[in-house]
Structure 1
Amino acid sequence: MPSRILQKYPTQKLFGLRVFLISIITATALFLPFIIMGGGVFYYYGDFNVQEIPFYQLVHDTVRGGNLGWMHNVDLGTDMLSSFSFYLLGSPFFWLTIPFSSEAVPYLIGPLLILKFGCASLSAYLYLKRYVTDRNFALVGGLLYAFSGFSIYNVFFFHFHEPMIMFPLLLAALDAFIYDGKRTVFALAVFSACVVNYYFFVGQVLFVIIYFLMITLTKTYKFKVKNFLLLALEVIIGFVATAFILLPSVLGLMGNPRLSELPNGWDSLVYSQPQKYWLIILSLFFPADMPAFPVFTPGSNCKWASVAAWLPLVGMTGVIAYFQVCRKSWLKKLLAVLAVFACVPVLNSMFQMMNSSIYYARWFYMGVLMLVLATIKAFESRKTDWNRAIRWSAGITVGATLLIGLMPVSYTDEESGDIQNTVVGTQATFERYWLYVLMALLSLLAFVLIIKKFRRNKKRFTVMLTVGILSVSLFTSYFIIATGYFSSSSTKTIKEDIINRRDGITIADIDNVRSDFYECVDNTAMFWQIQSINCFQSSVSTSIMQFYDALGITRDVASRPDLDVYGLRPFLSCKYLFDYRGDGKSGSTNSFIDEDGNTKMPGWKYLRTQNRFDIYRNERYIPMGYTFDKFIAEEEFDFVPSAHKSEALLYAMILPRDLMKKYSSITGYSDKKYKLLYGKHPEYYDSITETFSYDNSDYKKVCAQRAYNSCSSFEYTDNGFRAEYDNTKGDDNLLFFSVPYSEGFAATVNGKATDVEKVDYGFIAVKIPKGEKCDIVFTYETPGFSTGVKISLCALGAFLVYGAVILTVKKIKRKNKN
């Protein structure tokens, strides 16, 4: 059979399969030992453990359950599509998990990661093969890309490899359009790249523009208006076709504070931490650093920034060689432009939608592919002066090593200003730094030996390059992955007491109420798929962000309310608290029990211990859906001291002025009464907030009052929730639910449609009539989804028409030729 395959397909056609299989085997060798140590699950550390694994399992189960709308078990509630399209929903690798059971999903993470490495090498090969005559070098380039420093660094972010896979295919499709006259392919590539990850797609669009301009301005490609218009048409069709996932994602994330900070002043021109410039350079000459434990430039403020670009075995030697040989080329100029973009903050931010709230270099994989292209072209050129390139590469590596490793650093006393001690080296840790240096130098030495011994024989040279790249990749990557794996503080806990351990929690109503997790592994609730006020996920409902901001609580990447805002727990209908005991911290400062044996928040009582978690019950618990007898304007809430805002939430419903006026018969609003508050001297307004009392007895009393006026039943449905409230003895009122507000919600009360109002800075309420038992039903539809689907269908129709026209024109041309 193998001989028949070889006869049918020439050797050149097997290169794609070859690079794919080599990468799969190498990635298996890299990750399999850690999978075995994890009992079948690939654990790493940090975000990988507490985000990627539970995200996959939760969304997998949600999709299989047929619920594609509102997720009540992510933070306080959020839209699934807008929250997880960035992480999962556009990834073909995620959809491969759907046929498997929920329990199997964590065990698929490792194999999927291995598959991603294989696909990354194959996609890079498909792009690179155009630029070399010997496809062995394209194979080498595919391996360099797949096992580059960027790729290994971002194992930490499991969803970053999908854009790495799509990007070379996007460029390959563009090249096919430009140089081969192939039509429709680029539209498909644009569509796929955007669906896979819209955030990374923004950077890819910018790169493609720079790429196109560079090959046009250097006259590598002869610009033709007709072709450009067709190219623009394909871009438009491909992009518009993504509306079904892009439109709801954009609508759902509008207002997210992480996307709102634009470049400003000198910070947009020069990095405030000069170490960033060093880190960018060092990332080219040394193996990938650890995302959470930077060793080269500890003061660069670049944790998790993805500043990594090293090519295994060759480093920058091939790029330096290419620069020396090809003094005038579009690629050399493109790399120079990318270097400028990397070093100027405002230009760097263009790759991430102009967001400057935090420094990221998550577009470096695009530059890596260009570095790989330069390297393999240097390999293939007979004019390459490798001795000179090696001297430059070694000189920079050794020079940087000595400057950082031997630079004296003096530490002074803050009060006296006297020097306390002096150490040698500016790096974070001595051992790890010199290990990185050793790996870089050994890699360079191995490359020198391969060049000296095998350069004259092209076949042996490519074979030894492949062996060298794979050997160095495994050697350096084992160190990086192992450092993360063994430094993890969450792996043991997740493995023994959390993952697939939901059955160990036997609380009858645990699925219907919210819980708190004190000093526990992030997203423990998400592993168990129960509701919680804790969540480590940055792309949740913007209403959650707005609520925490109004209280002066930071909510950027996670919801982790401190114990001093204990009033939030009953306000958010939080009934249970979990305190992990498996780490032996009982009685320590990290325990929920203080030194006197009391709980660190008032009103909590020990219930039981399960899965080595001590579980406490909130005796101030307020069921979901309750009414208030007082109403205050948002401006009045500002009068409340910051230390008591969480408790003040329990005394009165907070409304914007327009709602105070709209429901004046309930709120007691009148222009005359509130004239002073909205006048020139609001500080003189006599607000009822001044009567709020915050001692423990009043806290207990107000919680009991809210609980007494709560819904008699509440349950989530497939597309929302429903509740019952007995208002037979009450007047017209507003019924409050601590569910984040979204325009996707519609509500009925006793079968009649009613307005859904945004109250308390981010939650929902509906009006209930007096003297009636009220059946309240909320239904949810993802905003923009139905419109997006219609737009995508129209784009599909346009694509089919476009394809038909292209096919017809080709047939006519062939007929005329004949």
Structure 2
Amino acid sequence: MQMKKTEKIKIPLLLFVICLAVCWIFVLQYGIFGSDLDWVNQHSVLPDYFRLRFYDTGQLFPDITWNLGAGQNIYNFSYYGLFNPIIWISYLLPFVPMSLYIQITSILSYGVSVVIFYCWLKKKWDDRITLACTFLFLLAAPLVYHSYNQLMFVNYMPFLCAAFLGVDKYVEEKKKALLLCGVCGMILTSFFFSIGGLLAVGIYGASRFTERGIKVFLKDSISLAGVLFHGVLLCGILLIPTAFVLLGRGGNGSQAEAVVSLFTVQPMRFLYTPHGVGLSALALVALFDGMVCKRKWQEKMLPVSLFLIFTIPLVGYVLNGGLYDKGKVFIPFLPLMCMEIAKYIERIKKRENSFRDILPYFITAIFLFAGKTFWALLDCGLMLLFFFLRKRFSIYPLAVWASCVILFCSGWAINKGSNHIIPKEDYEKILDRDTKAEVEEILEKDTGWYRMEEQQGGKKELQDINRIEDSRQWITSMYSSAYNEEYYKFRRETYDINEHFRNNMMQAVSDNPLFLQLMGVKYVIGNHPLAGYELLEEGENGNLYVNSHAAPIGYVTNEVVSEKNYQTLDFPANQTAFLWKAVTESAGDDGDFPVMNTCSLEILEINEEENQIKKTSFGWSFSLSTEKKVSIPMKDVPMTEDLLSVRFQVKNKKDKDMYIRLCGQTNRLTAKSHEYANHNESFAYTVTLNPENQTADFIFGPGEYEISNLEVFTGNLSELRNEKLYETPLKLEKTEGDTLICSVNNKEAGYLITSIPYDEGFEIHINGEKTSVEKVNTAFVGAKVPKGKCTIEISYEAKGKTLGFLCTGAGILLLFGYKIRCNKKGRMVQ
């Protein structure tokens, strides 16, 4: 008996060890199991924040993150593991760094996926076919690649494979526990890819039911759909509030491409690439054979369904949430494609060579040729050769093993050549224990209510865009697929802040001193002094600067002006006005603002062989092969001026990214073809002017582009600031999860002004009485406040959360009902 158990676990254990070896060969020998793509600034840091917040509040189901993006609905970040059961386990392990935990669990998830897939196939085919096709699954391009790059593309795979096992159990025994667990785990782990996963599970289940006739097919398919819906219902607490934030995002996300045809030929959805199912040409051969060979229609249902899913653009758009038609959403169909290969190998064992049997290879060759993947024809030819040799080597599925060799070589090349793996030494610098200790020291010394940010610049800034060193640290930056619409519009349109990353959803930390003042950023860790900030302490990894005049995050004032009046202002008054008056919808229209001084600036012409800058009738024309630095003296500017504001329009002549820096501040215009193009055609800068060397230091990036409508202004920050505006700051007494409890003593009635982005989910209670929430400073939370001592509670409830709880509760009640019914049936049988 013991011998049998050992035999059962021997192959799964061996497969798991091989998965570990593949991870080392492809990734770990070059660095950590993580990348400098979204892994470093989303997938590893946001779960760490969720855990920090849980330790701080004890809330498993929070509504808001006060720390990120100036204060956001926490469901804006739900995609990154908010209710992921694997992430929740880390809450029990506070001594394990989250970055290490994510690496370990990613490797384990990969290995477990392979083992469960093997167990699923083993029930259907002999050991040789099962083992060969499991290796094919193991080496498929997306699995390892996305396990350290874009985790949500594959981290649901163990639950998806378990769901396929659950379908078999449901079909054969009418037991749905495993299927329900697989569906729920898949949704909670990666709700975006669970849509494709549910479709994959659905068509597989439907294909199983066809074996029993059309009546059983219709009846049981509806029953299966009910189980899948039950799984969705159980996850309502995640899905419904997330749906509300995604629907409220508007049209500022990635831009959808137009649907131009009803049919597409894209072989790379099947072949090698990690942004598809990532198999060899054998997958296409197996699919076409399943469609054209002599079999019953029931057996053809699954391959035909898969082919239609992969080749109808509308399906790709729906699975991508209507954003674009990208191949990444077909990764959940990888197990089914591997299963189709297993079916094909089993079918051709007994076949004699005939034209009908060779037809799938010709169709595959035509498909590859139409898709302009000519080099893949060699792979197809190799598969045809093994088809002819199959009788001589009938014991082993040589075509599958040859495909495994191809995938191993291509996988090693893809991962090694991606240049995204982070060397261990570099990652130690990113974690930077000294910076963390410095942040914690400041928070211990200064217990006030303020924001503190790191401005390391360049790649380091991108890596830290979502990084919170301490649960008490508040920052203005964020990077997520969903975001607060009011805050996003304020940064991009109202305030016209510079865009220095190519992805339009990256709301980076700003080095605009006026924005930092407005948002209450009291402390900055960086390498360059900013207007209004004084050096507090020097450090090896960045100096510490403080601005004692930064706006409080919340204050009460009567220094207000109407939004109607504010909307008449142009750049740079649209930025400086917030330092002089607060903007409310119900204030009077009177209000004068100090203005910055206009001045002239002439960009020098350059006429070199490879770099040219020419003056034109509309502005300047640039044709640069490398970046070019140009320093322009600011003439007749008083030494007291410490601010320089510049704005101009940009026209990019080529479909490539371009950028222009002014005094270290960057604006970037993304290529139009990029799916997350930022459309930043108005470059605005407000930078600190060096009083000792008053020059406008431009760095013009390579490319061909034009600039026009150049506007230049200088000013003094202290003269643009109204000291009366912040005379009555709020004191933050304590934070209770989703509620801020503050106190204030007003000499007279006024307006509560905060720099927390406005959202319909906010409620404000003043001395226990609910008051109406107003939008102030065009995008932030505010209210009217009476005279005298006040206790102000600012609380937040995520839209749709109550409905989500009700759906989850209904799903749990259905579970209990199902359990009771099963128990009754059991007693009746007895």
Partners in 1 of 2:87 and 2:824 — Cα distance?
38
| Structure holding more strand per residue | 2
Letter of the structure 2 residue corresponding to residue 72 of structure 1: W
Give the structure 2 partner of residue 293 of structure 1: none
Structure 1 residue 52, shift from structure 2 partner: 1.6
Within the candidate set 451, 458, 461, 1:521 is matched to: 461
Does structure 1 residue 796 correspond to structure 2 residue 812? yes
Does the 8 A contact of 2:37 with 2:420 survive in 1?
no
Question: Is 1:693 matched up with 2:693?
Answer: no
Cross-structure match for 1:717: 735
Distance 1:443 1:612 in 2: 51
Over 3 Å counting, the alpha-carbon distance change for 1:606 and 1:239 in structure 2 is same
Give the 3-state SS of the residue equivalent to 1:170 in structure 2.
helix
Report if the CA contact (8 A) 1:578-1:613 is conserved. yes
Counterpart pick for 2:66 among 35, 57, 72? 72
Partner of 1:248: 241
8 Å CA contact 1:626–1:711 kept in 2: the answer is yes
The answer to whether the 8 A contact 1:126-1:169 is kept is no
**Mean CA deviation greater in 107-116 or 221-230:** 221-230
Q: Distance in 2 between matches of 1:144 and 1:79?
A: 42
CA distance in 1, matches of 2:807, 2:776: 33
Asked if the contact 2:264–2:313 (Cα under 8 Å) also holds between the matched residues in 1, the reply is no
Q: Secondary structure at the match of 2:568?
A: coil
Q: How much has 1:22 moved relative to structure 2? A: 0.6
For the pair 1:536 / 2:479, whether they are aligned, the reply is yes
Change (3 A) 1:268 1:472: closer
1:577 to 501, 524, 536: 524
1:613 matched to 2:546? The reply is: no
The answer to whether 1:645 aligns with 2:574 is yes
1:100-144 per-residue CA deviation (whole Å, 9 max, x = no partner) reads: 2355322233321221112222343454455x3325433433332
Instruction: Specify the code of the residue in structure 1 equivalent to 2:318.
Output: M
Contact 1:523 1:535 in 2 (8 A): no
Counterpart of 1:377?
A: 343
Q: Following superposition of structure 1 onto structure 2, how do residues 343-362 of structure 1 map, counting pairs within 5 Å?
A: 343-353=311-321, 355-356=322-323, 358-362=324-328
The CA deviation string for residues 415-456 of structure 1, in whole angstroms up to 9 with x for no partner, is xxxxxxxxxxxxxxxxxxxxxx6xx78977986787677765
**1:765 Cα deviation (Å)?**
1.5
1:53 and 2:74 matched: no
- The count of aligned residue pairs is 690
1:42 maps to what in 2?
Answer: 33
Task: Write the deviation string for residues 143-188 of structure 1: whole angstroms up to 9, x where unpaired.
Answer: 3234312324423201222333333333443444345433455444
Counterpart in the other structure of 1:294: none
Q: CA deviation at 1:707?
A: 6.0
Q: Which secondary structure state, in structure 2, belongs to the residue aligned with residue 138 of structure 1? A: helix
CA contact (8 A) 1:515 1:532 kept: yes
Query: Could you tell me how far apart the structure 1 residues matched to 2:341 and 2:373 are?
Result: 27
Find the aligned partners of 1:74 and 1:115 in 2 and give their Cα distance: 30
**Kept in 1: contact 2:30–2:421 (CA 8 A):** no
User: Do the aligned partners of 2:259 and 2:313 also contact (CA within 8 Å) in 1?
Assistant: yes
Kindly provide the CA deviation profile for residues 635-659 of structure 1, in whole angstroms up to 9, marking residues without a partner as x.
4443222554333333443445xxx
**SS at 1:363's partner residue?**
helix
Query: 1:84: Cα distance to partner?
Result: 3.6
Map residues 224-243 of structure 1 onto 2, 5 A cutoff. 227=220, 230-243=223-236
- Whether the 8 Å CA contact 1:91–1:162 is kept in 2: the answer is no
Using the alignment, how far apart are the partners of 1:516 and 1:309 within structure 2? 39
Mapped to 2, the partners of 1:346 and 1:400 lie a distance apart of 20
Pairing 1:96–2:116 present? no
Q: CA deviation at 1:733?
A: 1.0
Cα distance, 1:458 vs structure 2: 5.5
* Secondary structure of the corresponding residue to residue 532 of structure 1: coil
3-state SS, counterpart of residue 639 of structure 1: coil
**Structure 1: runs of 5+ lacking an equivalent:** 290-305, 406-436, 581-591, 593-598, 661-666, 669-686
Q: Tell me how far 1:559 sits from its aligned partner.
A: 0.6
Equivalent residue, structure 2, for 1:560: 508
Q: How does 1:222-621 map to 2 (within 5 A)?
A: 222-223=215-216, 227=220, 230-257=223-250, 267-270=258-261, 280-285=266-271, 287-288=272-273, 306=275, 308-311=276-279, 314=282, 316-323=284-291, 325-326=293-294, 329-330=297-298, 332-353=300-321, 355-356=322-323, 358-381=324-347, 382-383=349-350, 388=358, 392=362, 461=396, 471-484=405-418, 486-487=419-420, 493-505=426-438, 508-509=442-443, 512-515=450-453, 517=455, 518-519=457-458, 520-524=460-464, 526=467, 528-529=469-470, 530-548=473-491, 550-551=493-494, 556-560=504-508, 563=511, 566-579=513-526, 592=528, 602-618=531-547, 620-621=549-550
Map Cα deviations across residues 642-693 of structure 1 (whole Å, 9 max, x no partner). 554333333443445xxx2xxxxxx24xxxxxxxxxxxxxxxxxx5467552
1:749 aligned partner: 766
Cα distance in 2 for partners of 1:245, 1:779 equals 20
Match of 2:166 in 1: 173
Q: Which AA in structure 2 matches 1:777?
A: E
**Residues 46 and 490, structure 1, Cα contact 8 Å, conserved in 2:** no
Superposed, 1:203-214 pairs within 5 Å as 203-208=196-201
What's the counterpart of residue 413 of structure 1?
A: none
Q: 1:322 to 1:33 in 2, by over 3 A?
A: closer
Whether the 8 Å CA contact 1:149–1:311 is kept in 2: the answer is: yes
Matches within 5 A, 1:133-172: 133-155=125-147, 156-172=149-165
Change (3 A) 1:101 1:690: same
Q: CA deviation at 1:88?
A: 0.9
2:306 and 2:423 map into 1 onto residues whose CA distance is 38
- In structure 2, C-alpha distance between the alignment counterparts of 1:723 and 1:788, rounded to whole Å: 30
TM-score by length of 2: 0.72
| Cα distance change of structure 1 residues 263 and 503 upon mapping to structure 2, 3 Å threshold | closer
CA distance in 1, matches of 2:255, 2:209: 31
- Matching of residue 769 in structure 1 with residue 786 in structure 2: yes
The answer for unaligned runs of 5 or more in structure 2 is 598-642, 644-714
Q: 1:385 to 1:325 in 2, by over 3 A?
A: farther
Alpha carbons of structure 1 residues 331 and 635: separation in structure 2 relative to 1, 3 Å: farther
Say whether the 8 Å CA contact 1:166–1:192 is kept in structure 2. yes
